[in-house]
Structure 1
Amino acid sequence: MNVEAYIKSFAADVTIKQVFRNNETKPIEAVYCFPIEEQAAIYSFIARIDVREIIAQLKEKQEAQREYSDAIRQGHGAYLLEQDEKSQDNFIINVGTLLPGKECHIHISYVSELNLVQNGSSIQFVVPTTIAPRYNPEKGGISSPA
């Protein structure tokens, strides 16, 4: 994972670059959950395999899920980025039909407002790196993320 951030005043423009590799002997669907600041807004999602680059389009959730499922069923490569319904600060990437030995490069860009700390004398920039278990009173305890 590689993180690049441009910080100006009280805002951060962040790009996260990640690589998924299929080390299996058959095609897989890679599913990856990642945390993001709750107040952040994703504005770009790009997936690249070999020389093919896919730039995401914003769609209604049901339409995007249907198109993703249809593409997977037909054996095509497909990508889906969606916000976790259980937690607004987690996102899920689905990389479908990743062929054996292939790598998928994912670039996600977002903007986020920075917090004031130390009595307003400094700003704080945080890149979440783990998804912590969440307390769920309906289930009577702590549930695993995503």
Structure 2
Amino acid sequence: MASTLKSLFTTENGVSKPIDARTHGIIDYCHAGLFATVALLCWKKNRNAALTAAGTSAFILVQSLLTDYPLGKKRVIPFATHGAMDAGFAALSFAAPRLFGFSGTKAGLFFQSNSVLESTAVALTDWDSDHARAEEDR
């Protein structure tokens, strides 16, 4: 799976990705915190967005804790699989406002903007699992 992701997101001249496994982990935990904050901010005005953000925060946190990278705790999800999940999450984030009934709102715009940022993080991350393991061993 790592080679598939690498081929999708590596330029033809083999330019390496600037986001390593440790940095991606930091981004993940910040991402979970951001969605938890959005859930709190939306709670009174937009319950659907708040619940979707809370669920997203919980998903990102659990995924991060279970990923085999330097900041993971249980390490049952290979780093490359985490990347595939992130790519799917980027698409879901774009569709979430329509799916959960809050399109056309500020929260909906936040989720759609997150889709672009998530896609960028996926594209700029080095998903090579061996490299991720090497980062941990330093």
Give TM-score scaled by structure 2 length.
0.30
Q: Which has the larger radius of gyration?
A: 1
Q: Which structure: greater helix fraction?
A: 2
Give TM-score scaled by structure 1 length.
0.29
Q: Which structure: greater strand fraction?
A: 1
